[in-house]
Chain A
Amino acid sequence: MTRLSLNNEPVQIDANTLLSDALVAWGYGNDKVAVAINGEFVPRAQYPQQQLRDGDQVDVVSPVGGG
């Protein structure tokens, strides 16, 4: 298992899971989201190659009202 943080909450996933698969497993499905891992932006095109690792801090964001 891989232990990581999703939006500052601890989660576990199978080892060697790709980001694209993890987003589906976490329930984001077709949601319009953007992702950063360990504070670095991950472009959408990179999701199918982006492997998640132990200790990764994953941020998944979506649009909100803002000033």
Chain B
Amino acid sequence: MQQPQADELTLYGERFNSRFLLGTALYNSPELMRASIETSRCEIVTLGLRRQNPGNRDGAAIWQYIQDSGCRLLPNTAGCKSVKEVVTLAEMSREMFDTPWIKLEVIGDDYNLQPDPFALVEAAEILIKNGFKVLPYCTDDLILCQRLLDVGCEVLMPWGSPIGTGQGLLNRYNLRTLRERIKHVPLIIDAGLGAPSQAAEAMEMGFDGILLNSAVAKAQNPPLMASAFADAIVAGRNAYLAGLMQKRQTASPSTPTVGQPFWHQ
């Protein structure tokens, strides 16, 4: 059987064997997070920055485990609602984590956590001019995605559905359009997936990777779910590379009709 060779994901010139990016929030314990990172076989993890009061060491174990994982760090700007907040938090992240990579989030609506498309483009342009490698969490709007490319983003991360909903791919038309129109830029489905089958479907559609958090962290057995997603992402990717058959309206027998026994004219 011919297996795809060196099917790597390249993001800002860096190559990765895994197409699974995992979030590090919401786990019931740091140990579950560590085990999930391991079974996910991911090479990139997202993380954040929050106010720390003196003497509070709650995040210390999580941070230690993340460092020990050896994964590339992708800090986020989660919760920011303005360009100014985003730029400041990105600068704090760059110093803290010693990386120019930033998962750009600008929230435009508290109810569905939908990205603010206008602030997103403005913030991406500023950050890229300041030397950041921006991975924007965006909607599946084609024009927004084109504008983000115009200002220099080399990766786009459209949502499948709103963060934490687990509803999967809500707008397949838009997502297919994105993939068809933006062929040579990595597209990573970020947010909204709840089941490995949804991740496999996205990969079958030709998306380059999957970023998620809640679906693993909120599973009854997060490490096992992380493994299930990892397998689904590989399966979906291989299916895409193999080329899916064309759908048909009518049935077509798979067993030869020639030589059918008991048939008499």
Contacts and interface: CB of A to CB of B under 8 A. Distances in A.
B23 interface: yes
A63 B59 CA distance: 7
Contacts of B27: 65
B53 interface: yes
A44 B23 contact: no
Query: Interface size bucket, A side?
Result: 20 to 34
B163 interface: yes
B84 A67 contact: no
Interface string A51-67: 00000000111111111
Interface stretch (B86-94, B166-174, B219-227, B256-264): B86-94
Given A28-B54, A31-B52, A64 B62 contact: yes
A33 B50 CA distance: 10
B47 interface: yes
A34 B48 CA distance: 12
Given A7-B53, A27-B54, A39-B85, A66 B76 contact: yes
B51 A8 contact: yes
B47 A66 contact: yes
A62 B89 CA distance: 11
Interface in A17-67: 26-28, 31-36, 39-41, 43-44, 59-67
A63 B63 contact: yes
Interface of B: 23-27, 33, 46-55, 59, 62-63, 66, 75-76, 78, 84-85, 88, 91-93, 95-97, 163, 191, 212-214
